[in-house]
């Protein structure tokens, strides 16, 4: 764990304020769910809760199938990190942070399609050099939970209508799975 030098007291209702600097660094927004853990050393640990992360293994299988059908890299992200990937070495992208451009797409609740290969590309994942050619937000109970991303393959081709529909279906299906 990283020491911050910040000390907070618990109030009479059992609340503690997470400092703004930590919330900003960890991308914790008002209303975000947090998991609370304890360990054997008596430490209390707060972790951002990812409902989509609960479907991690399932999302991984779904990404594998999509990657094989589409023959191009597929990524599935929660609101902050890549949780599943297919069609590329997983260690390149798993657990990498979502780029600000991806966060904007998710918050807009609109899909993104790279229509013109000459336009400036959207890089959905920090430190990953392939641009996104299609992004569909995952919505569950009206909330944005993540996104399904079709990444540019070696040929850097535009996504076909069938590719778009498959990615959209994946996002809708994962959203429905989270509602159940």
What was the pLDDT predicted at 73? 92
| pLDDT at residue 155, rounded to an integer | 66
Q: Which residue has the higher pLDDT, 118 or 101?
A: 101
State mean pLDDT over 13-36: 84
Specify the pairing of strand 132-140 against strand 112-113: antiparallel
CA distance 160 to 133: 10
Model pLDDT, residue 85: 92
Name the residue among 158, 156, 138, 139 with its Cα closest to residue 147: 138
DSSP state string for 28-59: --TT--EEEEE-TTS-EEEEE--TGGGGHHHH
Domains defined for the chain, CATH in brackets: 1-49 (2.10.260.10), 52-179 (3.30.450.40)
Q: Quick one: tokens of 173?
A: 């299906």
Closest CA to 48 of 59, 32, 60, 37: 32
> pTM of the entire structure?
0.76
Model confidence pLDDT, tens digit, residues 113-149: 987 767 788 899 998 888 999 999 999 888 888 999 9
């Amino acid at each position: 764990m990283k020491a911050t030098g910040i000390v907070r007291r618990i109030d009479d209702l059992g609340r503690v304020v997470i400092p703004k600097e930590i919330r900003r660094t960890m991308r914790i927004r008002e209303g975000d769910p947090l998991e609370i853990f304890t360990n054997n050393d008596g430490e209390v640990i707060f972790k951002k809760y990812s409902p989509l992360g609960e479907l991690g293994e399932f999302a991984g299988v779904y990404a594998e199938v999509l990657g094989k059908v589409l023959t191009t890299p597929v990524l599935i992200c929660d609101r902050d990190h890549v949780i599943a990937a297919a069609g590329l070495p997983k260690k390149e992208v798993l657990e990498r942070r979502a780029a600000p451009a991806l966060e904007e797409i998710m918050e807009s609740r609109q899909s993104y399609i790279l229509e013109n290969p000459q336009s400036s590309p959207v890089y959905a994942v920090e430190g990953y050099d392939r641009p996104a050619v299609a992004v569909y937000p995952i919505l569950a109970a009206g909330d944005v939970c993540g996104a399904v991303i079709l990444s540019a393959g070696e040929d850097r081709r535009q996504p076909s209508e069938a590719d778009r529909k498959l990615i959209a279906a994946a996002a809708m299906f994962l959203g429905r799975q989270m509602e159940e």
